[in-house]
Amino acid sequence: MNKEKKTTAVALKYNHGTSSAPTVVAKGKGDIAQQIIALADEHDIHIHQSPELLEVLIRLEIGEEIPEALYKAIAEVIAFAYNLKNKA
């Protein structure tokens, strides 16, 4: 039996200076995840792939800020995305 792996996605939003921490704004599996990824791609939003981080983030509720334990990991992703944007 061949099991197809479902795509999973979580979208975070962070406003420097107005947000205390990144917040979950969308999450889903399957078709919903594909739509989140397509919208991110369409709007030139950085897509970071980390199964370990995704496993934790998918448990959060929409509107919930990321836990303090993830600040460093998310900060590294945000810094990486900003660096890519500045190079483009």
| pLDDT at residue 35 in the model | 97
CATH of domain 8-87: 3.40.1690.10
Q: What is the pLDDT of residues 57-80, one digit of tens each?
A: 999 999 999 999 998 988 888 888
Q: What is the pLDDT of residues 26-55, one digit of tens each?
A: 999 999 999 999 999 999 998 999 999 999
Asked whether the beta carbons of 22 and 74 are under 8 A apart, the reply is: yes
| pLDDT at residue 2 in the model | 44
Asked whether the beta carbons of 33 and 47 are under 8 A apart, the reply is: no
pTM above 0.85, yes or no: no
